[in-house]
Structure formats: structure tokens, C-alpha cells
Amino acid sequence: LKRLTVPALRARKADGVTAEPLVMLTAYTVRTAQLLDAHCDLLLVGDSLGQVVYGLPSTVPVTLEMMAAHGAAVVRGSWHAVVVVDMPFGSYETSPEKAFESAAWLLKQTGAAAVKLEGGEAMAPTVRFLSERGIPVMGHVGLTPQAVNVLGGYGARGRSAAEADKIVGDARALAEAGAFAIVVEGVVEPIAVAITEAVACPIIGIGASARCDGQVLVAEDMLGLFDRVPRFVKKYDDLGTRIGEAAARYAAEVRERAFPGAAQTYAPRD
């Protein structure tokens, strides 16, 4: 399996139609990347690692250094999927130049192929600046978690006509600026469908619509490894319960002196 490329994924949507939906999951560690890679077109080193890995209250405190460390691990653990690294809050918003410096540093540190950043029309010049200088950019509109302090929470977006128009306009502006794909998160379904139809690049939904050009979920959410998940998450397994059960069996065997057994101990010679 040769590693996919950004242009190959962008080309999956031609003349407004995506024959085969794009599959994306988050990965933060080498082992997760190894396990998910063959099944995915894209692996996202999401700044959701702030909550999922570090127990932070939001993605706002996540740093470039954290993204670089996890991004490098995910690239080392994958050989097939395109690895996209989230630009953390504060690393790109003030100017296209600042964004380029942050993004270039991330790509150098990690070996990833692309970055993702949040925001609509206001970020279009930055998307253009990076794309024209060798850094593919994935956009992210709708519910943008880095803006939680402005949005006031993580509820679905686009319930009013004005908000719906704004989100469609945001996606259109990013695509026209050269975004190779756009995540649309937490919007009422008709908006997700409208964006998918209106925008030339692939639209990757999360809490959006099955009619988007692709889907993304946080791997820990769909595996049952994270507790507070939004309603748009489908749990494909319950690994959290299984880990707890394994720990309980280990603890019981240690307390009964049943572990380690003969198979796990060294004889003087054999």
C-alpha cells in the first residue's frame, strides 16, 4: 500500500460528485495510527487530543508542541493514509505569515502532508497563502470548538437562516481560496447537504449528513474510550468497559498471588 496523496483525495470529488466517500478518523498515538491506517483515507491528528489525551476542558490550551509530538507519532505509525495535523488555537489566526510559520514548523516536525484550521471567510486569505506556498489546508466550519468561548457551547449550528447562510458562505470562501477539503461539524442536516452540493472540494461531515463526501469521528469516541460524547457519535465498540474488566482480572490475580504464573516466571535454567 503506497501512501495516498492530497491531490488524489481532492480528485475523488469531480464535477460535484464523490463516488466513494472519504474515510477519516483521528489518531494521536503510534499504536492507534497502526491499527486505523489501512482502513482510512485520512488520519487526523486532532486538537481534540486536548480533552481526550490530556483531560483539558477544551481545545483552547492545546499547543503547537503537543500537536508536533503526536503528529510525528502518527506519521511513524502509518504508511497509507494522508496525515492531517490540526493547527492549535493561537498558532494561525493573527496573519497568513504567522500561520505559514506555524504550519511549516508542524510539517517539518511531523512529516505530515497537510494542516487543518478552523474558521470561515476570515481565514480564506490564510488558506490561500498556505496553499500557494506548498502547504495543503483542510478547512473546518460550522461548530468550531476552538471558538467555544464565543459560541458559548458545543450545540448544533445553523438553526437560523442567517447562521445557515453564513456557514455555507464560509465553506464556499475556503474552497475558493484553495482548501483541498473541508470538515463541516455539528450543523443541521440540510446545511451539510447544501454545502456538499455547493462546494467543489470534498466535504467531510461530523454531526452533519451521510450525504457529505466523507465522514470523520474521534477514534476514542467511536471505540468507547471517552465518556462525554456528543449525540452524533456512534459507538462501534466499548473498549473502555473491556479495559476496565481486564484491569479487574489482573488486580484480582495479583491479590490472589495467581499472577505471575509459571509461564511468566524465569526458571534458573531451561
From the CB of 47, what's the least distance to ligand KIV, in Å? 5
Stretch that binds ligand KIV, among 27-35, 46-54, 155-163, 224-232 (CB under 6 A): 46-54
The closest alpha carbon to 58, from 66, 49, 67, belongs to: 49
Hey, what amino acid is at 79? W
Query: What is 16-69 written as a DSSP string?
Result: TEESS-EEEEE--SHHHHHHHGGG-SEEEE-TTHHHHTT--SSSTT--HHHHHH
Residue 48 is labelled as binding a ligand: yes
Cell numbers at 190, concatenated: 440540510
Number of residues that bind ligand KIV (CB under 6 A): 12
Binding of residue 47 to ligand KIV (CB under 6 A): yes
Q: Which lies closer to ligand KIV via its Cβ, residue 46 or residue 158?
A: 46
Binding of residue 86 to Na ion (CB under 5 A): yes
Please pick, among 97, 101, 121, 185, the residue that the annotation labels catalytic. 185
Q: Catalytic: 185?
A: yes
Tell which phi-psi region holds residue 117, choosing left (phi > 0), alpha (psi between -120 and 50) or beta.
beta
Residues 70-99 within binding reach of ligand KIV (CB under 6 A): 86
Binding of residue 218 to ligand KIV (CB under 6 A): yes
Binding of residue 220 to ligand KIV (CB under 6 A): no
For residue 203, give the H/E element and its range.
Answer: strand 203-206
What letter would DSSP give residue 195?
H
The closest alpha carbon to 183, from 100, 117, 270, belongs to: 117
For residues 6 to 45, the per-residue mask of contacts with ligand KIV, x marking binding by CB under 6 A and - elsewhere, is --------------------x-----------------x-
Q: Which lies closer to ligand KIV via its Cβ, residue 50 or residue 173?
A: 50
Cα separation of 213 and 231, whole Å?
21
Query: Active-site positions?
Result: 185
Binding residues: 47-48, 86, 116, 118
Residue ranges binding ligand KIV (CB under 6 A): 26, 44, 46-48, 86, 140, 183, 185, 206, 216, 218
